[in-house]
Copies of this chain bind each other. A is one copy, B any other.
Amino acid sequence: MARPAKFTSEQILDAARDAAVEHWRGTTITHVAERVDAPTGSIYHRFPSRDALFGSLWARSIRRFHQGLLLAAEIEDPQASMAAMARHIPRYCRENPGDAKAMTLYRLSDLLPKIPAEQRAELATINDDVDAELRRVTARRYGRLTDRRYRLALLGTRQCPYGLVRPLIGGEIPRAFDAICVAATEGILALGD
């Protein structure tokens, strides 16, 4: 075709992630451009807008995060499966501080209206697979799936561990958090019995 890219999308996303660790929501296109040693125009050659760039970064981080959740969902015993989901959250944030920080940049509902339509279609369903798996595991754990039980499972296995870990994201997350997350999760899940 033509001239090969000097800056790939992945490189730019990596730079955006690293810049976000430092500047978080205050990260500018200039910050990102400096990290890849490019002018801002080159960033705009690949991403139509700032929101599209950071939206892509957010989506990539969420997808990477979901991988561990899907693995945990494969565990036979539903109780152990849910504990593994809870534990995955502090672990992922400990091992991938940059991606974890990127997850905190947006909430899905705030992001959707800001991004181009094509990206929106992709992001609107980003939680579907993990949600379906969680429903399946929840049904197995309680015998019968109800809406209340599903909401408890969602709060217990995701919201609660995430809320515990969130203020530490980007920095060090003590090992003790793994057990603490599981304990909180099980306290919540017991309400569904």
Q: Mark A153-193, 1 if CB is under 8 A from B, else 0.
A: 00110011011101100000000000110011111101100
Looking across the interface, which residue of chain B has its beta carbon closest to that of A161?
A: B163
Number of A interface residues at 8 Å Cβ cutoff, please give it: 22
A6-36 contacts to B, CB under 8 A, are 25
A179 proximity list for chain B (CB < 8 A): 191
Is A59 in the interface zone, CB < 8 Å from B? no
Is A93 in the interface zone, CB < 8 Å from B? no
Is A152 in the interface zone, CB < 8 Å from B? yes
A186 proximity list for chain B (CB < 8 A): 187
What is the CA–CA distance of A187 and B152 in the complex, to the nearest angstrom?
Answer: 15
